[in-house]
Amino acid sequence: MSRALVIEDNQDNMKLITFLLAAEGYAFLCAATGRHGLELALAERPDFVLLDIQLPDMDGTEVLRALRQDPWGRCVPIIAITSYAMSGDRQRLLAAGCAGYLEKPIDPDHAVGEIRAILEGSRPCAS
Amino acid sequence: MREKHRVTAPHRAFSRAGWLLVWALLWAAVGHAAEPLGPATRLRVGVYENPPKVFRLADGTYAGIFPDLLARVAADAGWVLEYVPGSWAEGLERLERGELDLMVDVAVSPERTARFLFSEQTVLVNWGTLYTRPGFALNSPLDLEGRTLAVLRGSIHTEGEEGILALLRKFGVSTTVIERDSYAAVFEAVALGAADAGAVNRLFGAASAVRYGVRETPFVFNPSELRYAFPSNGRFGGALQRAVDSRLAELKAAPGAPLQTLVAEYLERPPELWDTRPGAVRADTIPPISPAQRAWLAAHPLLRLGVDPHWLPFEALDPRKGHLGIAADYARIVAERLDVALQPVSGLTWGETLQAARRRELDLLPALSATPERAEYLLFSDPYVSFPVVLVTRFGAPLVAGLPDLVERRVALVEGYSIQEYLRRDFPRIVQVPVPDIDSGLLAVADGRVDAYADNLAAVTYAIEQLELGNLRVAGTTPYTVDLRFGVRSDWPELVPLVNQVLASVEPERRTAIQDYWTTQRPTEERKLTRIRTQIGWGVAALALVGLAAALHNQRLRTQIRYREQLTRALAAANQRLTELDRLKSMFIASMSHELRTPLNSIIGFTGVLLKGLAGPLNEEQADQLGRVFRAGKHLLALITDVIDIAKIESGKIVPYAEAFTLGDLVQEACDAVRKNAEDKGLALRAERPEAPIVMHTDRRRLLQCLLNLLSNAVKFTEAGSVEVRAALTADGGVQVAVTDTGLGISPADQERLFQSFVRLDSPLKTVVPGTGLGLYLTRKLAREVLGGDVTVVSEPGRGSCFTLRIPRELPVSPDAVP
> What residues does B595 pair with on adjacent strands?
none
pLDDT for the residue numbered B17: 56
- The beta strand positions in B133-206, using DSSP E, are 148-152, 176-180, 197-201
Contact B106, B112 (CB under 8 A): yes
CA geometry: angle B771, B777, B782, nearest 5 deg: 115
In chain B, residues 195-254 whose CB comes closer than 8 Å to chain A: 218-223, 225
Contact A27, A4 (CB under 8 A): yes
Among B479, B485, B287, residue whose Cα is nearest residue B374: B485
Say which residues have a Cβ less than 8 Å from residue B549's Cβ, sequence separation at least 6: B564
Rounded Cα gap, residues B391 and B480, in angstroms = 11
pLDDT for the residue numbered B523: 35
In chain A, residues 24-63 whose CB comes closer than 8 Å to chain B: 34, 38-39, 42-43, 54, 57-59, 62
Q: Does A91 touch chain B (CB under 8 A)?
A: yes
Terminal alpha carbon distance of chain A: 22
Rounded Cα gap, residues B331 and B311, in angstroms = 15
Distance from CA of A119 to the nearest CA of B (A): 22
Q: In sequence order, what DSSP letters do the residues of B719-752 get, joined into one string?
A: SSSEEEEEEEE-TTS-EEEEEEE-S----HHHHH
Hey, of B606, B659, B706, which one would you mutate to test binding to chain A, going by the most A CBs within 10 A of its CB?
B606
H or E element, residue B661: strand B659-662
pLDDT for the residue numbered B651: 66
Q: In sequence order, what DSSP letters do the residues of A15-69 get, joined into one string?
A: HHHHHHHHHTT-EEEEESSHHHHHHHHHHH--SEEEEES--SSS-HHHHHHHHHT
Hey, are the CB atoms on B605 and A43 less than 8 Å from each other?
A: no
The whole-model pTM stands at 0.42
Q: Does A113 touch chain B (CB under 8 A)?
A: no
Which residues in B lie closer than 8 A to residue A34 (C-beta atoms)? 218
Distance from CA of A65 to the nearest CA of B (A): 8
Hey, are the CB atoms on A38 and B655 less than 8 Å from each other?
A: no
Cis link prior to B436 (omega < 30° from 0)? Answer: no
Q: For B719-740, what is each residue's pLDDT tens digit?
A: 889 999 999 998 888 999 999 9
pLDDT for the residue numbered B590: 52
Among A10, A65, A88, the residue with its CB nearest the CB of B657 is A88
Q: For B371-425, what is each residue's pLDDT tens digit?
A: 888 888 999 998 898 888 888 888 777 777 788 888 888 999 988 888 888 888 8
Q: Spell out, as residue ranges, where chain B has pLDDT lower than 70.
A: 1-33, 255, 270-272, 279-287, 470, 520-565, 567, 579-594, 651-653, 757-772, 814-819
Rounded Cα gap, residues B532 and B231, in angstroms = 59
pLDDT for the residue numbered B789: 92
Contact B118, B61 (CB under 8 A): no
* Main-chain dihedrals φ then ψ at residue B667, nearest 5 degrees: -60, -45
> What residues does B129 pair with on adjacent strands?
B200, B220
Among B314, B181, B240, residue whose Cα is nearest residue B45: B240
Burial B593-609 (b: 16+ CB within 10 A, else e): beebbbebbbbbbbbbb
What single letter denotes the amino acid at residue A83?
S
pLDDT for the residue numbered B399: 74
Rounded to an integer, the average pLDDT of A79-103 is: 78
Collapsing DSSP states into helix, strand and coil, what is residue B482? strand
Contact B393, B475 (CB under 8 A): yes
pLDDT for the residue numbered A84: 60
Which residues in B lie closer than 8 A to residue A109 (C-beta atoms)? 608, 612
pLDDT for the residue numbered B410: 92
H or E element, residue B14: none
pLDDT for the residue numbered B31: 47
H or E element, residue B686: strand B684-688
Q: For B765-790, what is each residue's pLDDT tens digit?
A: 444 455 667 888 889 989 998 899 99
Hey, are the CB atoms on B597 and A87 less than 8 Å from each other?
A: no
Which residues in B lie closer than 8 A to residue A104 (C-beta atoms)? 597, 601
Residue B509: count of CB within 10 angstroms of its CB: 13
Which residues in A lie closer than 8 A to residue B656 (C-beta atoms)? 87
Give ipTM to 2 decimals.
Answer: 0.76
Hey, of A39, A40, A54, A82, which one would you mutate to test binding to chain B, going by the most B CBs within 10 A of its CB?
A39
Which comes out higher in pLDDT, residue A23 or B817?
A23
> What residues does B339 pair with on adjacent strands?
none
Which comes out higher in pLDDT, residue A102 or A6?
A6
Residue B571: count of CB within 10 angstroms of its CB: 16
Compute the half-sphere exposure of residue B806: CA atoms within 13 Å on the CB side of its CA. Answer: 10
Note the Cα B511 to chain centre separation in Å.
23
Specify the DSSP class assigned to residue B54: B
Hey, of A86, A93, A112, A127, which one would you mutate to test binding to chain B, going by the most B CBs within 10 A of its CB?
A86
What single letter denotes the amino acid at residue A121?
G
Note the Cα B252 to chain centre separation in Å.
30
CA geometry: angle B432, B359, B365, nearest 5 deg: 70
CA geometry: angle B253, B254, B260, nearest 5 deg: 70
Cis link prior to B52 (omega < 30° from 0)? Answer: yes
Collapsing DSSP states into helix, strand and coil, what is residue B411? strand
Specify the DSSP class assigned to residue B288: P
pLDDT for the residue numbered B764: 52
Residue B748: count of CB within 10 angstroms of its CB: 9
B219 CB-contact burial (10 Å; exposed 0-12 / middle 13-18 / buried 19+): buried
Which residues in B lie closer than 8 A to residue A88 (C-beta atoms)? 655, 657, 659
Distance from CA of A106 to the nearest CA of B (A): 6
Which residues in A lie closer than 8 A to residue B599 (C-beta atoms)? 12
Among B384, B273, B375, residue whose Cα is nearest residue B334: B384
Hey, are the CB atoms on A19 and B699 less than 8 Å from each other?
A: no
